[in-house]
Amino acid sequence: MSDTHAPRPPATQLRRAVLSSYLGSLIEFYDFLLYATAAATFFRQIFFSNLDPRVGTVAALGTFTTGYLARPIGGVLFGHFGDRLGRKRMLVITMTMMGVASTLIGLLPTHAQVGLLAPVLLVLLRIVQGIAIGGEWGGAVLISAEHATSRRGLWAGFTNAGAPSGMVVSSLVLALMAALTTEQQFLAWGWRVPFLLSILLLALGLFVRLKVEETPVFARARQSGVERMPVVEVFRRQPGNLALAVGVGFAAFVTQATITTFVISYAVEEAGFARPTVLNALTLSSALAVVAILAFAALSDRVGRRPVVLGGAVAMAGLSFVLFPLIGTGSAALLTVAVVLGQSLAHPAMYGPLAALYAEMFATRTRYTGASLGYQIAATGAGFAPLVFAAILESGGSTVLISAVMAACCLVTVVSVLVTRESHRADLSEDPAAARTAS
């Protein structure tokens, strides 16, 4: 069943909702993924300069992981209030948290200046980032999905397109600073500039977000009452959906973090590529991923969510075994091909339809909590993957083992997708459990 019987929201509100979701996601992921690139390429020298290079890289990637561990907390916290008070209010808070935390990272003292206090403060601010983005994604998706009356996959997909857009902007800013400064200047102060720019992006994002109204789907559902404890209802009534949501997105997160964080670190530290070369490949693949995510999201409106995600997972499983051999050639062109194939083709097929699919898996009164929790628990795979893979190399393991683990994660997603029901024509006003029983 489609949503055509529901009152159509003004087209202006839909455009504002989609723009708000896209910009908000871009800004949040600019901050969150800027940290990822920094952890993979230069935080070792700044915050862990007292450690052996490989150990320092593992430590820097460990701080990256803490942000992912905090994301489910943000999902539960903001999901709870988002399902009770509304989507819009939570999005203003999460954006402010992220912008302030990222700006403060740009002001942190280094290990050489204050010793152990520097990485401690870094971890604390990374946790704030994780909580913020944990609450941001679900609300941003629902603001678009619950305003849309058709082409829900495409409109909700703009939220997911914000992630590589944020990567493009952060990579460009980092590459620009690296080009304008010497290595010594970059490590002394140049790296701070991209983080300090977060305060300007925050102002822009809040200006757009404050103009968006609450979603009509939530407004109608609230008239019949709200859940007192949405998270309890998710675990009590929809534990299977939650487990499937985690599995469906798991491979997308593991492989995304592997390509944008671990592979970048591997290319610089192990394969000997210059940092600007690697950042240029990442920027190009991220820009292409924006288009690919929207294309695959739109395709899922036509053929369904399941076939698109399934195809992406199978493609990524195969690509995982050629990724490192391509990088190992030492060719900048083949490095770029490897990153583009992963981030701009296979990953977008898995990731593009996820925004709408997660929204369709849960009822309105628990949708913010359920979608956020499923997405953010799956996202912890992205937090652990670079750390685990770095530890494998540190202990003498091979990249073949890393590829096998990536392929196994893709298998988890394949099985989960096959079990999940198709939902691209579902009505968001209906309870998915009731619709499944009726069918």
Q: Return the structure tokens found at 9.
A: 């929201």
Q: What pLDDT does residue 439 have? A: 46
- Is 6 a member of any domain? no
% of the chain beyond a pLDDT of 90: 51
**Residues sharing a CB contact under 8 Å with residue 56, sequence separation 6 or more, in sequence order:** 44, 45, 48, 49
Question: What is the predicted pLDDT for the residue at 390?
Answer: 87
In a domain, 346, yes or no: yes
Q: Which residues constitute the domain of residue 109? A: 11-438
Give the total number of structural domains in the chain: 1
Asked if pLDDT for residue 429 goes beyond 60, the answer is yes
4 located within any domain:
no
Domain-embedded: residue 2: no
- 87-105 and 53-85 helices cross at what angle (nearest 10)? 160
Mean pLDDT of 407-418: 97
Residue 115 has pLDDT above 90, yes or no: no
Q: What pLDDT, in 10s, does the model give residues 303-327?
A: 999 999 999 999 999 999 999 999 9
* 340, burial (CB in 10 Å: exposed 0-12, middle 13-18, buried 19+): buried
Give mean pLDDT, residues 63-87.
89
Contact in structure between 278 and 267 (CB atoms under 8 Å)? yes
Distance (Å, whole) CA 408 – CA 420: 19
Residue 416 lies in a domain: yes
Interior CA angle at 419 toward 258 and 383, to 5°?
Answer: 20
77 band by pLDDT with thresholds 50, 70 and 90: very high
Q: Kindly tell me if the per-residue pLDDT of 1 is higher than 60.
A: no
Summarize the confidence of residues 200-224 as an average pLDDT: 88
pTM: 0.85
Give the pLDDT score at 433: 59
Indicate whether 4 pLDDT > 50: no
Whether 335 shows a pLDDT value over 50: the answer reads yes
Q: pLDDT band at residue 6, thresholds of 50, 70 and 90?
A: very low
| 436 band by pLDDT with thresholds 50, 70 and 90 | low
pLDDT for 58 = 78
CA 323 – CA 336 distance, rounded (Å) = 10
State the average pLDDT over residues 265-281: 87
Q: Does the pLDDT of residue 9 top 70, yes or no?
A: no
Instruction: Kindly indicate the confidence band of residue 5, based on its pLDDT and cuts at 50, 70 and 90.
Output: very low
Whether 5 is in a domain gets the answer no
The better pLDDT of the pair 416, 391 is held by 416
- Give the CA distances from residue 397 to residues 8, 255, 278, 393, in Å, rounded to whole numbers and listed in that order: 56, 19, 23, 5
Q: Give 13-37 pLDDT, tens digit per residue.
A: 888 899 999 998 898 888 877 887 7
72: CATH: 1.20.1250.20
Mean pLDDT for the chain? 89
Backbone angles phi, psi at 215, to 5 degrees: -70, 145
pLDDT reading at 386 higher than 90: no
Number of H helices, E strands in the chain: 22, 0
- Give, in order, the Cα–Cα distances in Å from 69 to each of 165, 167, 383, 410: 23, 20, 7, 21
- Residue 3 belongs to some domain of the structure: no
Residues 150-198 pLDDT 10s: 899 999 999 999 988 988 888 888 888 888 888 889 888 999 999 999 9
Q: With 70 as the cut, is the pLDDT of residue 7 above it?
A: no
Q: Which pLDDT band, with edges at 50, 70 and 90, does 2 fall under?
A: very low
Looking at residue 226, its pLDDT comes to 84
310 neighbors 412 (Cβ within 8 angstroms): no
Rounded to an integer, the average pLDDT of 57-71 is 82
Q: What amino acid occupies position 409?
A: C
Going by C-alpha positions, the residue among 304, 212, 161 that lies closest to residue 13 is: 212
Q: What is the pLDDT of residue 66?
A: 87
Amino acid 384: pLDDT: 87
Q: Place 291 in a pLDDT band, splitting at 50, 70 and 90.
A: very high
Task: State the Cα–Cα distance between residues 32 and 139, nearest whole angstrom.
Answer: 17
What does the pLDDT read at residue 96?
A: 93
Pick from 43-47, 62-66, 160-164, 218-222: least confident: 62-66
Residue 170: predicted pLDDT: 87
